[in-house]
Amino acid sequence: MSQQRVAILTAGGYAPCLSSAVGALIETYTRVSPETEILAYRHGYHGLLTGNSVLVDEQTRQGAALLHRFGGSPIGNSRVKLTNDEDCRKRGLIGPDQTALEAAADRLVADGVTVLHTIGGDDTNTAAADLAAYLRERQVDLTVVGLPKTIDNDIVPIRQSLGAQTAAEQAAIFARNVLAEHGSNPRMLIVHEVMGRNCGWLTASAARSYLAWHAEQEWLPSIGLTPERWGIHAVYVPEMHIDLDAEAARLHKVMDEIGCVNIFLAEGAGVPDIVAAMEAEGKKVERDPFGHVKLDTINPGKYFAKAFGHRIGAEKQMVQKSGYFSRSAAANDTDLALIRQMAELAVDCALRGVAGVIGNDEDRGDELRAVEFERIAGHKAFDVTQPWFTDLLSSIGQPIT
């Protein structure tokens, strides 16, 4: 095969796989196709539109393994929607008479890119597919091979997205310190807010990881070190309705019995109800370029802390968010293995001209393959009827609804 130039970009929110995925792609190309040039666009589609890129040199190739030790992304991320020309124009990423797709396509052609590796979620990868289709209309051949990144693990039809398992583990580690605050005041209410706009997988998995750690500990009840006070008393995810009155009555009993209440809350849990209430009051609900509600402007953790606080007789409320702690971590061993496996196939597909998003295809018996872009979608719901999750809820005394 003749020499070609591939490009890599990471986009969207961070996940504990980006640095490692970039490293794995560089390592794999260096091993199987050392003549292939590698270009990295800085800050995702932002760099693609502005021409901000770096050519991977020999020093980076030889030191690529170092990237597995770090979280974040060495080439940077951003949230840019290629089909939102108005936002791109407002941010100065494209000219007054350009479309984002046109500007991105022109840059790829000018840079001589024949393969584009996108490391991101459904928005990132479907945008790349739109870009490839646009180039085909202009008779420019570009193969797009994506890697699935999201800590929510909600990409359809991919069984496991990169970074999610690490993020769940890190959220559980974060909770070990946060839940220690249960003794910092009498009748303490702690809300551990976990990322997860539309999917409860991360919150549920973080709770499972925390409870696995909890089960291994030794306790000293005579002085007040009890498993009950270090436990989880509620887990709320977007896929479940939260009956505030019923839950308040249940948690009030917990507060009376042990003197604290600890909640794991997905940031998207109950959001439709919160938004409806705000809009009914005439309040403006801010949204990002993708149309997503800006969760930091409605603050779900604070909302539920306030909603439960007076109902359960809490003297003090604390809300702690593990999102940035979790999403910026380095990949754990489980994710590293999956990253390496997916990167190997991504490079193989790229060299053979096979486009798609690499992942275990749930509709094809979990086969690891390049999933067709038209089948990629976001917001895969977490199945709250799974035995492990219903067992978890039963173990903490929460009704299964």
**Eight-state DSSP code of residue 131:** H
Amino acid at position 141, single letter: D
Phi first, then psi, for residue 144 (nearest 5°) are: -110, 125
Can you read off the two tokens belonging to residue 169? Answer: 């583990």
CA gap 31, 59 in Å, rounded: 14
- Inter-residue contact 223 to 295 (CB < 8 Å): no
- A 10 A CB-CB count for 156 gives 15
Considering only CA atoms, which of 192, 151, 204, 167 is closest in space to residue 383?
204
Active site residues: 152
Among residues 44, 49, 41, 42, the alpha carbon closest in space to that of 100 is found at 49
The rounded distance, in Å, linking the Cα atoms of 183 and 316 is 11
H or E element, residue 357 = strand 356-361
- Beta-carbon contacts of 74 under 8 Å, excluding residues fewer than 6 positions away, are 19, 22, 67
Q: Rounded CA gap, 157 and 360, in Å?
A: 8
Segment holding 148, helix H or strand E? strand 143-148
Pairing mode, strands 234-236 and 260-266: parallel
Cβ contacts of 241 within 8 Å, gap of 6 or more: 401
Apex 260 CA angle, 386 and 253, nearest 5: 75
